[in-house]
């Protein structure tokens, strides 16, 4: 599939700030499932900073904006050619050991309920187990925007029984770890086609490390494995660790953020 | 348990201490009190206040200084030096390896869990090799002695070992008060430390740095217990002492805020934890630190000493594997031995520890400063039982070691001179070269019979002498 | 030099100078209060607090201006950031932070003042005579200043210290002179009376300038001579013109060594030009109080410019 992305994040400060520093993971991952045709990230008034590929294989790009400034716009535009690899992250170069993703963080720590949920899963081999875990999470947490927030933990979302893709991903990571599978959080984009699924275009899912296959994506929110509708950006232990944009503004007022994402299928 | 007194062998004085016997004998009580008061006044005047890493406490507190020096013969030191440098090399090789391919783990010589699920392991720096392949540029290795030729490593400090200001100032004060001692004994100087440190830091400048690198020391601030040390080292090296607020990132580099505008910084000797380096990387909720610094670091715009992530090598559970690192990376036999250590996380070890608890020293894996530890033979039955319950509850959090018969050195006490237990922390510098200043921080347990040398628990310091050949 | 280091040096100077002034104010207050005070609608002590801008903070904590309370407030009170104790403590703490930018002698002077202060604070107040206390402050202020002049390298740090000193001193001289305004305001008929002269003399004495004044002017003490001496006379160490010239000089040295002219320097030069073009008659035409008020505002604006140029680290 040939997908075009137009992703705009606008930061507005009620009083001008002295400076803004950002760290981006906004470059599509380099692996067999996607190929970048063109891609550009711009930051209004920004100076391009350090850039490198990190141990998890993500391209990191720093930006600084010298103030005083009261609005900063980050715009991502590009086209990606995608192939369906049924979730398998083939040909992705990284050095972080999978065992590193056995470390629990606040949002992905399993409480007794998550622990119990994890133990309901069955499957003879790791792949079947992973599918079973993903399905359990999808059943236990119904898709419902507006119930949870950025800092909701997997345990809290499970108790609520509702959440969004971030909560699904956190919960799947938590239950996978209980069953001995390293899990990580993936951020990216999702093209929602005409069948009316209203899931947000800025999307997140989980990857689990399966012996023999390596990292494989699972998207409990959509009850599937990422295919050619998905664009993968970067990964981390949780949503915060995998955030496509991290930033801090110094010496100013309150920040308001406004995001619009449009993913379209290019007409060749 | 027979204890080794470093000054005496039976009734005979051991050669390194030969000239000190007359010195003590010739010092009447009044003169001694006078000198002791003078030393204290000097310490107070220069404003040296001190606490070994993690001990906290009153920032204006003086640590007791004992005038009786601790002496090493040239040959004794030569062996120690070799052992310390060997260990520092192995620790750095380990760090480069575990942030790279992890060969030692693949080879099954250390459990993956200990490394990759360690809180101190920084996933953010995997795949990055710091300049000259050095993660820990100042390695403080705590050593105890139990006999003429028996030294054991108690723990490694790969992050920001403190106390070196005491090594430097104790010597300054001894030389001022007892110049004749330094004429009679041929004592290796320690004042080359700051120049060696500066050279070490400059030698690991990032690849993007051109010309003479700008080095700074990054301090948590003047409320920190080791602020005096930070400021002394900055002064001796002639570099700026900065706080996080003085640094900022612009484009691909880090800068300090000066009265002439931004000035690029190439090497940061930081005296604070990883967590306070960059809120974008380590603590998104924190306003402390320098946003964007880790991106600059990872892309070769600035060097950070010690490198973020170095802490995974000095964890007390990883400590058990350091001799293995020496064999694995260097193909050598360790010159300095570890204290035999039982890991309570292992069922067999746990059983042994619980059986022999009253005889052992038990420590928390992440504890420091002599807190959260049990010295079996010095504890009441109640204390032992209470500690037993803590171990059973979370065995993985504890290690145990035999109670060592720590060596003692004569020390001035109320009644005159009496032996007191000591340890030693030398500071090994690792950059383009590996260097060790002949000396270190000798801590002394001033309470009779005590084995705890931490300043927070009644410990003091001594000048440490290494005699020339 | 790090902006933060420059800021700390600047504040060491300001705090030490302020401690000195507060001690002198206490001296003025106690001397003025020694003469019969049947005049005026507000007490001399209150006037003194008004002039220093500390009246409100005092009233909030202590209520009526009783001498003993004023002494506590101005000397020992840590809640008052301008008290002698607060100033000396802050100066020493700033010194500790930038210990490496100071010589041993300067640090010793700061630290000794602080250690002695702690000893003073432990003694019962009844043992502490006000005149002794003020003398003690002036002695230590002079020791710090002397150590700076005698031992410090003449680099940018030295300039920032001096900028702090001159700025604070100019502001303080203006405020001390203004005390006179508050004391005399209600009774114009005192002008030229014996009481008037006594008050002017007291003011001079508080500034340690009585003898210098007589050497320079001789004869009767008049308001015009005083104004000339404390505002326009470049020989007077505390005059406004001396302070602004000092500021211009040190800002100029910074601009030269850094190779760039700044807004702060332009500002200082403009204030200087203003003073040079002023005569005593001009000052009295405008009104002494009005003139001083305007000067204090100009100095505050200059301080702001120095902060923005050198001290807040935002220079590009």
CATH class, domain B341-402, is alpha beta
Quote the CA–CA distance of C247 and C243 in Å, as a whole number.
6
Q: Which of B41, B259, B260, B261 to mutate to test the interface with C (most CBs of C within 10 A)?
A: B259
Quote the CA–CA distance of C90 and C93 in Å, as a whole number.
5
Q: pLDDT tens, C244-274?
A: 999 999 999 999 999 988 999 999 999 999 9
Judged by CB atoms closer than 8 Å, whether chains meet at B291 and A54 is answered as no
Domain extent listing, chain C: 3-311
Judged by CB atoms closer than 8 Å, whether chains meet at C258 and B222 is answered as no
Q: What are phi and psi of C136, to 5 degrees?
A: -60, -45
Q: Residue B287: its chain A contacts at CB < 8 A?
A: 248
Q: What is the pLDDT, as a whole number, of residue B232?
A: 92
Judged by CB atoms closer than 8 Å, whether chains meet at C258 and B257 is answered as no
Q: What are phi and psi of B286, to 5 degrees?
A: -100, 145
Q: What is the pLDDT, as a whole number, of residue B53?
A: 39
Judged by CB atoms closer than 8 Å, whether chains meet at C1 and B259 is answered as yes
Q: What is the pLDDT, as a whole number, of residue C231?
A: 94
Chain A residues with a Cβ under 8 Å from any Cβ in chain B: 19, 21-23, 47-56, 60, 62, 64, 66, 94-97, 99-100, 102-103, 237, 240, 246-248, 250
Over 80: is that where the pLDDT of B456 sits?
no
Q: Does B231 touch chain C (CB under 8 A)?
A: yes
- CATH number of residue A45's parent domain: 2.60.40.2250
Residue B187 DSSP code: B
Q: What is the pLDDT, as a whole number, of residue B272?
A: 92
Q: How far is A106 from chain B (nearest CA, A)?
A: 13
Q: pLDDT tens, A149-204?
A: 999 999 999 999 999 999 999 999 999 999 999 999 999 999 986 554 545 788 99
Q: How far is B203 from chain A (nearest CA, A)?
A: 22
Q: Does B127 touch chain A (CB under 8 A)?
A: yes
Q: Does B176 touch chain C (CB under 8 A)?
A: no
Say yes or no: A133 and A213 in one domain: yes
Judged by CB atoms closer than 8 Å, whether chains meet at B251 and A49 is answered as yes
Over 90: is that where the pLDDT of B377 sits?
no
Specify whether the CB–CB gap between B407 and B422 falls below 8 A: yes
Q: Which residue of C has its CA nearest to B257?
A: C313
Quote the CA–CA distance of B466 and B187 in Å, as a whole number.
6
Q: Residue A50: its chain B contacts at CB < 8 A?
A: 251-252, 292, 295-296, 298-299, 301
Q: Which residue of B has its CA nearest to C309?
A: B259
Chains that touch A (3 or more CB pairs under 8 A): B
**How many residues make up chain B in this entry?**
469
Judged by CB atoms closer than 8 Å, whether chains meet at A49 and B113 is answered as no
Judged by CB atoms closer than 8 Å, whether chains meet at B249 and A64 is answered as yes
The DSSP-derived string for B258-315 is: EBTEEEEE-EEEE-S-GGGT-TTTT-TT---S-TTHHHHHHTTS-EEESPTTGGGGS-
Its domain, for residue A197, covers 84-236
Q: What is the pLDDT, as a whole number, of residue B451?
A: 79
Give pairs for B205-210: CB < 8 Å, separation 24+.
B205/B131, B205/B266, B205/B267, B205/B303, B206/B131, B206/B266, B206/B267, B206/B300, B206/B301, B206/B302, B206/B303, B207/B131, B207/B300, B208/B252, B208/B253, B208/B300, B208/B301, B209/B266, B209/B267
Q: What is the pLDDT, as a whole number, of residue B338?
A: 95
Say yes or no: A224 and A254 in one domain: no
Q: Least CB-CB distance to B123: which of A53, A66, A100?
A: A100
Q: What is the pLDDT, as a whole number, of residue C54?
A: 83
Which residues in C54-167 belong to E strands, given as ranges? none
Quote the CA–CA distance of B348 and B327 in Å, as a whole number.
25
Chains that touch C (3 or more CB pairs under 8 A): B
Quote the CA–CA distance of B313 and C263 in Å, as a whole number.
52
Q: What is the pLDDT, as a whole number, of residue C193?
A: 59
Q: How many domains does chain A contain in total? A: 2
In which residue ranges of chain A is pLDDT below 70? 193-199, 268
Q: What is the pLDDT, as a whole number, of residue B153?
A: 96
Separation in Å, CA B238 to CA B214, B234, C151: 11, 6, 19
Q: pLDDT tens, B269-297?
A: 999 999 899 999 877 666 778 999 999 99
Quote the CA–CA distance of B428 and A120 in Å, as a whole number.
53
Pick the closest to residue C118 from C82, C88, C81, C83 (CA basis): C88
Judged by CB atoms closer than 8 Å, whether chains meet at C4 and B234 is answered as no
Say yes or no: A123 and A205 in one domain: yes
Residue B368, Cβ neighbours under 10 Å: how many?
18
Three-point CA angle A205, A210, A215, nearest 5°: 45
Q: What is the pLDDT, as a whole number, of residue B372?
A: 74
Share of chain B above pLDDT 70, in %: 93
Over 80: is that where the pLDDT of B45 sits?
no
Q: Does B256 touch chain C (CB under 8 A)?
A: yes
Q: Tell me what the mean pLDDT of segment B127-154 comes to.
A: 95
Q: What is the pLDDT, as a whole number, of residue C38?
A: 46
Residue C66, Cβ neighbours under 10 Å: how many?
12
Q: Which residue of A has its CA nearest to B292?
A: A21
Q: How far is A26 from chain B (nearest CA, A)?
A: 14
Q: What is the pLDDT, as a whole number, of residue B152?
A: 96
Residues contacting residue C97 through CB under 8 Å, at least 6 positions apart: B222, C8
Judged by CB atoms closer than 8 Å, whether chains meet at C100 and B231 is answered as yes
What SS3 string covers A91-153?
CCCCCCCHHHHHCCCHHHCCCHHHHHHHHHCCCCCHHHHHHHHHHHHHHHCEECCCCCCCCCC
Quote the CA–CA distance of B422 and B445 in Å, as a whole number.
6
Share of chain B above pLDDT 90, in %: 70
Q: How far is C102 from chain B (nearest CA, A)?
A: 10
Judged by CB atoms closer than 8 Å, whether chains meet at B295 and A50 is answered as yes
Judged by CB atoms closer than 8 Å, whether chains meet at C99 and B260 is answered as no
Q: Does B347 touch chain C (CB under 8 A)?
A: no
Rounded to 10°, the helix B227-237/B193-203 angle is: 80
Q: Residue B116: its chain A contacts at CB < 8 A?
A: 97, 99-100, 102-103
Q: Tell me what the mean pLDDT of segment B346-358 comes to.
A: 92
Alpha helices in C33-66 (DSSP H): 44-52, 55-62
Q: Residue C315: its chain B contacts at CB < 8 A?
A: 257-262
Q: What is the pLDDT, as a whole number, of residue A44?
A: 96
The DSSP-derived string for C8-21 is: HHHHHHHHHHHHHH
Q: What is the pLDDT, as a whole number, of residue B187?
A: 95
Whole-number average pLDDT of chain B: 90
Residues contacting residue B183 through CB under 8 Å, at least 6 positions apart: none
Judged by CB atoms closer than 8 Å, whether chains meet at A52 and B123 is answered as no
ipTM for this prediction: 0.92
Q: How far is A57 from chain B (nearest CA, A)?
A: 9
Q: Residue B279: its chain A contacts at CB < 8 A?
A: 248
Specify whether the CB–CB gap between A242 and A23 falls below 8 A: no
Residue C226 DSSP code: H
Over 70: is that where the pLDDT of B55 sits?
no
In which residue ranges of chain C is pLDDT below 70? 34-43, 181-196
Kindly report the pTM of this predicted structure: 0.91
Specify whether the CB–CB gap between B301 and B265 falls below 8 A: no
Say yes or no: A173 and A102 in one domain: yes
Quote the CA–CA distance of C27 and C179 in Å, as a whole number.
12
Judged by CB atoms closer than 8 Å, whether chains meet at B121 and A100 is answered as yes
Q: What are phi and psi of C283, to 5 degrees?
A: -65, -45
């Amino acid at each position: 599939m040939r997908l075009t992305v137009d992703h705009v994040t606008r930061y507005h400060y009620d009083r001008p700030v002295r400076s803004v520093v950002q760290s981006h993971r906004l470059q599509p991952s380099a692996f067999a499932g996607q190929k970048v045709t063109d891609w550009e990230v711009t930051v209004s008034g920004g100076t391009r900073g350090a850039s490198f590929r990190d141990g998890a294989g993500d391209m990191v790009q720093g930006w600084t904006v010298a103030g005083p400034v009261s609005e900063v716009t980050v715009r991502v535009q590009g086209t990606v050619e995608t192939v369906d690899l049924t979730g398998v992250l083939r040909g992705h170069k990284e050095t972080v050991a999978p065992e590193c993703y056995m470390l629990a963080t606040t949002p992905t720590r399993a409480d007794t309920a998550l622990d119990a949920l994890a133990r309901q899963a069955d499957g003879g081999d790791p792949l079947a187990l992973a599918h079973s875990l993903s399905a359990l999470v999808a059943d236990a947490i119904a898709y419902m925007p507006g119930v949870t927030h950025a800092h909701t933990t997997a345990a809290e979302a499970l108790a609520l029984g509702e959440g969004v893709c971030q909560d699904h991903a956190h919960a799947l990571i938590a239950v996978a770890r209980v069953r001995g599978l390293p899990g990580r959080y993936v951020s990216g984009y999702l093209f929602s086609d005409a069948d009316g699924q209203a899931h947000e275009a800025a999307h997140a899912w989980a990857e689990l490390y399966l012996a023999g296959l390596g990292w494989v994506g699972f998207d409990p929110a959509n009850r599937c494995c990422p295919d050619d509708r998905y664009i993968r950006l970067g990964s981390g232990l949780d949503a915060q660790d995998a955030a496509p944009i991290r930033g801090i503004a110094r010496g100013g007022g309150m920040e308001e953020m406004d995001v619009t994402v449009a993913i379209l299928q290019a007409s060749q | 348990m027979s204890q080794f007194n470093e000054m005496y062998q039976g009734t005979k004085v051991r050669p390194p201490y030969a000239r000190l016997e007359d010195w003590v004998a010739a010092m009447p009580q009044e003169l001694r009190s006078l000198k002791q008061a003078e030393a204290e006044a000097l310490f107070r005047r220069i404003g040296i206040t001190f606490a070994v890493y993690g001990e906290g406490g009153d920032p204006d507190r003086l640590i007791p200084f004992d005038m009786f020096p601790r002496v090493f013969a040239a040959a004794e030191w030569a062996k120690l030096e070799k052992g310390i440098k060997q260990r520092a090399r192995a620790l750095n090789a380990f760090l480069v390896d575990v942030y790279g391919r992890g060969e030692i783990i693949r080879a099954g010589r250390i459990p993956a869990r200990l490394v990759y699920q360690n809180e101190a392991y920084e996933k953010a720096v995997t795949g990055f090799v710091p300049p000259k392949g050095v993660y820990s540029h100042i390695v403080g290795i705590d050593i105890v002695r139990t006999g003429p030729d028996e030294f054991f490593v108690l723990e490694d400090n790969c992050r920001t070992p403190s106390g070196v200001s005491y090594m430097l100032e104790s010597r300054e004060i001894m030389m001022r008060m007892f110049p004749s001692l330094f004429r009679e004994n041929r004592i290796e100087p320690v004042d080359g430390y700051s120049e060696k440190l500066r050279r070490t830091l400059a030698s690991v400048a990032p690849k993007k740095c051109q010309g003479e690198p700008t080095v700074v020391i990054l301090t948590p601030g003047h409320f920190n217990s080791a602020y005096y040390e930070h400021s002394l080292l900055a002064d001796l090296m002639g570099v700026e002492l900065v706080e996080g607020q003085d640094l900022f990132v612009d484009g691909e580099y880090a800068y300090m805020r000066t009265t002439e505008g931004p000035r690029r910084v190439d090497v940061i000797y930081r005296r604070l934890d990883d967590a306070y380096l960059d809120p974008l990387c380590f603590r998104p909720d924190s306003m402390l630190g320098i946003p964007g610094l880790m991106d600059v670091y990872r892309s070769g715009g600035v060097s950070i000493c010690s490198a973020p992530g170095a802490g995974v090598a000095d964890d007390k559970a990883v400590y058990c594997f350091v001799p293995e690192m020496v064999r694995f990376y260097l193909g050598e036999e360790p010159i300095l031995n570890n204290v035999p250590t039982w890991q309570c996380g292992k069922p067999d070890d746990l059983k042994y520890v619980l059986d022999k608890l009253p005889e052992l020293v038990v420590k928390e894996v992440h504890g420091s400063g002599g807190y959260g530890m049990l010295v079996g033979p010095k504890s009441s039955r109640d204390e032992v039982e209470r500690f037993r319950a803590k171990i059973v509850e979370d065995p993985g959090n504890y290690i145990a070691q035999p109670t060592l018969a720590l060596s003692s050195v004569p020390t001035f006490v109320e009644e005159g001179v009496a032996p007191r237990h000591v340890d030693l922390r030398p500071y090994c510098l690792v950059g383009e070269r590996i260097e060790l200043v002949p000396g270190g921080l000798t801590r002394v347990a001033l309470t009779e019979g005590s084995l705890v040398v931490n300043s927070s628990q009644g410990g003091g310091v001594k000048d440490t002498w290494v005699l020339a050949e | 030099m790090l902006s933060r280091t420059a800021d700390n040096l600047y504040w060491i100077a300001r705090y030490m100078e302020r401690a000195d002034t507060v001690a002198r104010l206490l001296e003025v207050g106690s001397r003025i209060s020694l003469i019969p005070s049947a005049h005026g609608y507000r007490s001399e002590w209150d006037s003194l607090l008004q002039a220093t801008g500390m009246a409100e903070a005092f009233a909030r904590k202590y209520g009526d201006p009783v001498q003993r309370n004023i002494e506590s407030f101005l000397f020992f009170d840590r809640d008052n950031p301008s008290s002698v104790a607060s100033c000396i403590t802050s100066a020493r703490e700033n010194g500790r932070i930038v210990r490496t930018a100071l010589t041993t002698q300067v640090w010793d002077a700061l630290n000794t003042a602080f250690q002695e202060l702690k000893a003073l604070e432990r003694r019962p107040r009844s043992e502490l005579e006000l005149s002794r206390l003020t003398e003690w402050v002036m002695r230590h202020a002079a020791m710090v200043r002397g150590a700076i002049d005698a031992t410090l390298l003449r680099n940018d740090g030295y300039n920032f210290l001096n900028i702090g000193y001159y700025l604070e001193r100019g502001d303080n001289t203006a405020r001390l002179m203004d005390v006179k305004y508050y004391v005399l305001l209600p009774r114009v008929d005192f002008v030229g009376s014996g009481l008037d002269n006594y008050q002017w003399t007291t003011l001079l004495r508080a500034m340690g300038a009585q003898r210098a004044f007589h050497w320079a002017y001789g004869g009767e003490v008049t308001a015009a001579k005083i104004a000339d001496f404390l505002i326009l006379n470049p020989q007077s160490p505390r005059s406004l013109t001396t302070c602004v010239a000092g500021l211009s000089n040190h800002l100029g040295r910074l601009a030269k060594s850094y190779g760039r002219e700044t807004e702060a320097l332009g500002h200082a030069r403009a204030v200087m030009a203003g003073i040079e073009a002023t005569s005593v008659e001009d000052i009295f035409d405008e009104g002494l109080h009005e003139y001083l008020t305007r000067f204090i505002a100009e100095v505050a604006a200059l301080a702001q410019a120095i902060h923005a140029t050198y001290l807040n680290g935002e220079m590009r």
